[in-house]
Amino acid sequence: MLKRMLIPSLLAVLAVAAAACGSRAPGVQLAPSSGATQASVPTTPKPPPALASKPAVSVPKRKAPKQLVTKDLVVGTGQSAQAGRTVTVNYVGVLYKTGKEFDSSWKRNQPFTSTLSAGRVIPGWVRGVAGMKVGGRRELIVPPNLAYGKAGSPPTIPPNSTLVFVVDLLSVS
């Protein structure tokens, strides 16, 4: 007799459990049925409208400065960049002497991400990008001693070159 009652009860429990598998309890999200879930992929931050296009870099007509010169072209409102933090930027770099562009993240259609520290970027960037706020655009005039110095960076940057950058700060992490 116990066996007769146990089997129908067990079947009823199994039926309820099977029916619950397809239901959605509040706050529960079912996994996709087509296999493995997709890993989260970091996305490139979208620049604000003021930074949406490649800037024109104009080299001053005066003698190249011996010290780092910074000038905010667009003042950002987001998080501040600090030495040691990771920044994502768009930038254009030109030679002070000729105005010739030697590098640009815009040309690659890919922002540049790096830790803001010596050995990762030139010292002029560590000092010049620090203090910028996300959403900002800053001009940096970097003397040779804070750039590539006597060695330069052949073939695009001659020895003892002063460099001009326009840097757009997209994110800080």
Do residues 89 and 110 lie in contact, with contact meaning Cβ atoms separated by under 8 Å?
no
pTM of this structure: 0.74
Question: Cα(131)–Cα(21) distance, rounded to whole angstroms?
Answer: 53
- pLDDT value for 44: 62
Can you list the domains of the chain with their CATH numbers?
63-172 (3.10.50.40)
How confident is the model over 106-133, as pLDDT tens digits? 999 999 999 999 999 999 999 999 999 9
DSSP 45: P
Across residues 13-32, what is the average pLDDT? 47
The pLDDT tens digits for 76-97 are: 999 999 999 999 999 999 999 9
Token reading at 10: 């067990």
Q: Residue 72 — very low, low, confident or very high, per pLDDT cuts 50/70/90?
A: very high
Tell me which residue has tokens 């029916």.
Answer: 19
